[in-house]
A and B are shown apart, each in its own frame.
Chain A
Amino acid sequence: MEQQLQANGSTRRRFVEWFLGTTLGAVALSVLYPVFRFVIPPEVAESATNRVLAGTLAQMPSNSGKVFRFGSKPALLIRLPNGDFRAFTAICTHLGCTVEYRPDLQEIWCPCHNGFYNLQGVNVTGPPPRPLEQYTVAVTDDKIWVSRGA
Chain B
Amino acid sequence: MALVQRAYKFLDERLQLEPLAEYARHKEVPRHRYSWAYFFGGLALFFFVVQVCSGILLLLYYRPTAEAAFDSVQFIMTRVRFGWLVRSIHSWSANLMILAAFVHMFSVFLMKSYTRPRELTWWTGCILLALSMGFGFSGYLLPWNELAFFATRVGTEMIHKTPLIGDWLLRFLRGGDDVTGATLTRFFGFHVAVLPMVITFFVVAHLLFVQRQGMHIPVSAQAESGRRPAMRFVPNFMLRELLVWLIGLALLAALAAFLPWDLGQKADPFASAPANIKPEWYFLFMFETLKLLPAHIFDVEGELFGLGAFGLAALLWFFVPVLDWRARKGERSPLFTVIGWLAIVYISGMTLFSLAGGLPK
Q: Which residues of A contact B (CB under 8 A)?
A: 39-41, 44, 46, 67-69, 72-74, 90, 94-100, 109-114, 123, 126-129
Whether the Cβ atoms of A97 and B154 lie closer than 8 Å is yes
Give the residue of B153, B158, B171, B301 whose beta carbon is less than 8 angstroms from that of A41: B171
Across the interface, B176 reaches (CB within 8 A) one of A41, A67, A73, A99, namely A41
Question: Are the C-beta atoms of B296 and A97 separated by less than 8 Å?
Answer: no
A133 to B150, CA, bound (A): 20
- 19 CB < 8 A contacts A-B: A40-B172, A44-B177, A67-B270, A69-B270, A74-B270, A95-B153, A97-B153, A98-B272, A110-B273, A111-B273, A111-B276, A111-B361, A112-B273, A113-B290, A114-B291, A123-B295, A126-B291, A127-B291, A127-B293
When A40-B172, A41-B182, A95-B157 are in contact, do A129 and B302 touch as well, CB less than 8 Å? yes
A69 nearest in chain B by CB position: B270
B175 to chain A: closest residue by CB: A41
Q: Give chain A residues whose Cβ lies under 8 Å from the Cβ of B259.
A: none
A126 to B291, CA, bound (A): 7
- Please determine whether A95 and B274 come into contact, CB atoms closer than 8 angstroms: no
Residue from B168, B172, B178, B301 within 8 A of A129 (CB atoms): B301
Interface residues of B in 277-324 (CB under 8 A from A): 277, 287, 290-291, 293-296, 301-303
Known: A97-B273, A128-B295. 8 other contacts (CB 8 A): A41-B182, A67-B272, A68-B270, A95-B158, A96-B154, A98-B150, A109-B361, A112-B273
Residue of A at shortest CB range from B176?
A: A41
Question: For A110, what are the chain B residues with a Cβ–Cβ distance below 8 Å?
Answer: 273
B359 within 8 A of A: yes
Chain B residues near A100: list those with CB within 8 A. 272-273
Interface string of B153-189 (1 = CB under 8 A from A): 1100110000000001001101111100010000000
A124 to B48, CA, bound (A): 45
Evaluate whether A114 and B361 lie within 8 angstroms (CB atoms) in the complex, with A95-B158, A97-B153 already known. Answer: yes
Interface of A is mostly: loop
Q: Does B330 contact A (CB under 8 A)?
A: no
Contacts of B174 in A (CB 8 A): 41
A39 to B176, CA, bound (A): 11
Q: What is the chain B residue whose CB lies nearest that of A68?
A: B270
Give the complex CA separation of A41 and B189 in angstroms. Answer: 15
The CA of A2 and the CA of B130, in the complex, are separated in Å by 58
Set of chain A residues within 8 Å of B154, measured between Cβ atoms: 95-97, 112-113
Point out residues on B near A: beta carbons under 8 Å.
150, 153-154, 157-158, 168, 171-172, 174-178, 182, 269-277, 287, 290-291, 293-296, 301-303, 358-359, 361
Contact, CB under 8 Å: A112 / B272: no
Cross-chain contact A127 with B290 (CB below 8 angstroms) = yes
Q: Which residue of A lies closest to B302 (CB)?
A: A127
Query: Nearest CB to that of B276 among chain A residues?
Result: A111
- Say whether, besides A40-B172, A41-B171, A127-B302, A99 and B272 are in contact (CB < 8 Å): yes
The chain B residue sitting closest to A101, CB to CB, is: B272
Minimum Cβ distance to chain A for residue B264 (Å): 15
Among A74, A90, A97, A128, contact of B277 (Cβ-Cβ < 8 Å): A97
In the bound complex, CA of A73 to CA of B177 (Å): 11
B148 CB to closest chain A CB, in angstroms? 13
Given A41-B182, A129-B295, CB of A112 within 8 Å of CB of B150:
yes
Q: Which 9 A-B pairs have the closest CB atoms?
A: A100-B272, A96-B157, A95-B157, A129-B301, A97-B273, A113-B291, A95-B154, A129-B295, A69-B270
Q: Are B182 and A111 within 8 A (Cβ)?
A: no
CA distance A61 to B254 in the complex (A): 49
Distance A109 CA – B360 CA, assembled complex (angstroms)? 13
The residue in B154, B287, B296, B358 that gathers the most chain A C-beta atoms within 10 A of its C-beta is B154
Contacts of A99 in B (CB 8 A): 272-273
- Return chain A residues, CB-CB under 8 Å to B269: 74
Report the separation of the CA atoms of residues A44 and B175 in the bound assembly, to the nearest whole angstrom.
11
User: A113 to B302, alpha carbons, bound, how many Å?
Assistant: 12
CB-based contact A98/B271 at 8 Å = yes
Interface centre among A96, A100, A128 (most CB of B within 10 A): A96
Q: Which residues of A contact B157 (CB under 8 A)?
A: 95-96
